[in-house]
Amino acid sequence: MSQEIHGTHSDEPDDPAEPAATRRAADEAESSRASRGWWDRNADEYQNDHGGFLGDDRFVWGPEGLDEAEAALLGPAASLKGLDVLEIGAGAAQCSRWLAAQGARPVALDLSHRQLQHALRIGEGIPLVEADAGRLPFRDGSFDLACSAYGAVPFVADPVQVFREVHRVLRPGGRWVFSVTHPIRWAFPDEPGPEGLSVAASYFDRVPYVEQDEQGDAVYVEHHRTLGDRVRDVVAGGFRLVDLVEPEWPAWNNQEWGGWSPLRGNLIPGTAIFVCERDRPSAEGSARTTLGA
Ligand SMILES: C[S@@+](CC[C@H](N)C(=O)[O-])C[C@H]1O[C@@H](n2cnc3c(N)ncnc32)[C@H](O)[C@@H]1O
């Protein structure tokens, strides 16, 4: 099952213009190449379809509409002033714009040139960096916080490499908060209606979802990790997990976003947000999981 957060694919299953969907291995290089191409080709449609919901300068964690202004997962808004923040998989940098409005100093990083052009279209003033999350072009200890709303993590073959990179560029005590498709969704069809409520695949099957062209080259890749895998990846990346947030579907939100809908949102989780911390030196070397601490 794919869980396509972009939500821009044709609904026609036999559309000849659509690449063929399959399940097969896809390594880091192929996944990165596919993601760059896909987001460059589809950024316009993504921003056209979802830009209204995202707003120009809101920080939304996912299709449920949980807003950082209310959730304060990076810390109280008033505490963000003057902090260096890295946003990974920033798209059009809406989250960074909200962070800048709080007085933070965000840097918005994305693999896709076209997504970053949308950031410029919305407004100037946010530093933009075109790079892969697996190789961050920053010195060690450059940031106080790092965040990602569905950026990069669901699309990379080696999330631990991304987490190690984030750990490297964060200062001791820094937070790393990222949202991804809730892993349970992998077992269900990616449909917003009742057909999306019956288990159709194994939650434990980690074989990537790949769309490929006629030559067999991947043009879109999604990598599944179970909830336990994600926790182990966070710890392997050097972090302590301090919270795992599963936003509930709010009564005000009547919008569908791909397979995310009020119907499904009221029954099963759609987003998982991992709140992680890089320990200060005295505690490092004993990275541990403290869920709910
Ligand atoms: C679902 S969009 C989310 C964008 C934005 N955070 C938002 O909420 O609209 C995923 C973004 O991750 C970016 N991305 C995918 N793989 C990446 C990678 N390996 N490194 C950096 N960015 C990546 C894509 O280019 C895309 O802009």
At 281 the pLDDT is: 73
pLDDT at 292 > cutoff 50: no
pLDDT higher at 167 or 3: 167
Q: Which domains does the chain have, with CATH numbers?
A: 20-292 (3.40.50.150)
Residue nearest ligand 1's atom 15 by CA: 152
The confidence band for 87, taking pLDDT boundaries of 50, 70 and 90, is very high
Region 120-140 average pLDDT:
97
Contact 264, 184 (CB under 8 A): no
Q: Which atom of ligand 1 lies closest to the CA of 50?
A: 9
The confidence band for 20, taking pLDDT boundaries of 50, 70 and 90, is very high
Residue nearest ligand 1's atom 25 by CA: 112
The confidence band for 4, taking pLDDT boundaries of 50, 70 and 90, is confident
Mean pLDDT of the chain: 93
Q: Which atom of ligand 1 lies closest to the CA of 38?
A: 25
Region 227-253 average pLDDT:
98
Q: Which of 180, 221, 249, 234 is nearest to 22 (CA)?
A: 221
The confidence band for 9, taking pLDDT boundaries of 50, 70 and 90, is very low
Region 44-48 average pLDDT:
97
DSSP type of residue 94:
H
Alpha carbon distances (Å) from 262 to 1, 55, 62, 71, 266: 20, 20, 13, 20, 6
Q: Which atom of ligand 1 lies closest to the CA of 62?
A: 8
At 16 the pLDDT is: 56
